[in-house]
Structure 1
Amino acid sequence: MVVSFGSVEGAQLWLEQTGCTFEMLLDSQKKVYLSFGLGSSFSKVLKFSCLMQLSEFSAADRDFPDFPHRLLEDIFQLGGDFLLDETGKVLLSHPSKNPLDRPSLKDVLKAKTDLLLSCQCCDLK
């Protein structure tokens, strides 16, 4: 599931432009963000190394979602990646240090494997 704090119009546009097929939850009060310890940071979002990497993506002709300025809300809000089991237990917690910070595929797969190994039933395998 993808969690966003923006408007319905912005969420629909993002889903269309990225081709994301996950369900989306709109969290306009940012309660989910706060419960996972995710804050806003001017300095982390506009960190020079992060801006350089984004400029390299642009130079490599990598597409990013194109949003009208009227739909941009808190551009300094940091995100994260979390994997929860069916009971809500957090198996992987990766609050982003900057907009480009994501967990490695190895870490995500390890958390999923640990879940499957601890599961007593075969439904999740």
Structure 2
Amino acid sequence: MPCRAHLSQLRQQKEKVSRLGIEVVVVSFEDEEHALNYQREENLEWPVIIDKSREFYNYFGLTRAGFWDIWGFATWRAYLREMLKGNMPKMTKGDVHQRGGDVLIDPQGMVRLHHISKGPADRPDVNAILEIVEKEKITEMSPEELRKLRN
């Protein structure tokens, strides 16, 4: 559900994303049916790429998360926050231990933001990502700058 919330925040900034020339691609390791249902349920206009072999995930170091990464306090807090907004969790058939992340690649193919989520609740702030692009500060970022992006 925090992943859905992250994409929802990005979707709410759709006009700004478009104005900045950002092309969003959602990558999923799920099967085609699940990915298309997800795309439909979340009203995503962006393409969804299915990576069942997880080559993309492995290439960017998005490995499996441990038990406490998935079921720790930050995750429970994020789920509670979403439930208080009326967003009830849905049972997943997928691999809950697969880490997610955010990767920002510039037009020249350079990775400008590489965030590996520690767990479901660990996502960079969408407004901070857009601000980086807007101010053209999409150069290599220090670990301190990356920490500032996290909620």
* TM class by smaller structure: 0.7 to 0.9
Q: Is 1:106 paired with 2:128?
A: yes
Q: Is 1:91 paired with 2:115?
A: no
Distance 1:9 1:97 in 2: 27
Instruction: Give the Å deviation of 1:115.
Output: 6.5
Is the contact between residue 81 and residue 95 of structure 1 (CA under 8 Å) also seen in structure 2?
yes
Query: In terms of mean alpha carbon deviation, does 41-50 or 73-82 score higher?
Result: 41-50
Instruction: Give the Å deviation of 1:79.
Output: 0.4
Instruction: Give the Å deviation of 1:23.
Output: 0.8
Look up the equivalent residue of 2:85 and give its one-letter code.
A
From the superposition, tell whether residues 37 and 112 of structure 1 become closer, same or farther in structure 2 (CA, over 3 Å).
farther
Q: Is 1:8 paired with 2:32?
A: yes
Look up the equivalent residue of 2:107 and give its one-letter code.
E
RMSD: 2.3
Distance 1:53 1:73 in 2: 19
For structure 2, the 5+ residue unaligned runs are 1-24, 139-151
**How many positions carry a matched residue from both structures?**
113
Is the contact between residue 4 and residue 26 of structure 1 (CA under 8 Å) also seen in structure 2?
yes
Query: In terms of mean alpha carbon deviation, does 106-115 or 21-30 score higher?
Result: 106-115
Distance 2:122 2:54 in 1: 20
Look up the equivalent residue of 2:70 and give its one-letter code.
V
Instruction: Give the Å deviation of 1:96.
Output: 0.9
Equivalent of residue 62 in structure 1, options 87, 96, 109 = 87
From the superposition, tell whether residues 37 and 92 of structure 1 become closer, same or farther in structure 2 (CA, over 3 Å).
same
The C-alpha deviation readout for 1:8-51, integer Å capped at 9, x for no partner, is 00000000111111111111110100111111113211113312
Distance 1:28 1:112 in 2: 33
Distance 1:57 1:108 in 2: 23
Q: Is 1:44 paired with 2:69?
A: yes
SS in 2 for 1:114: coil
The C-alpha deviation readout for 1:35-91, integer Å capped at 9, x for no partner, is 111111132111133123303321331255x45x5xx12111110111101232101
From the superposition, tell whether residues 88 and 115 of structure 1 become closer, same or farther in structure 2 (CA, over 3 Å).
farther
Q: Is 1:30 paired with 2:48?
A: no
For structure 1, the 5+ residue unaligned runs are 117-125
Is the contact between residue 38 and residue 79 of structure 1 (CA under 8 Å) also seen in structure 2?
yes
Look up the equivalent residue of 2:128 and give its one-letter code.
K
Whichever of the two has the greater Rg, that structure is 1
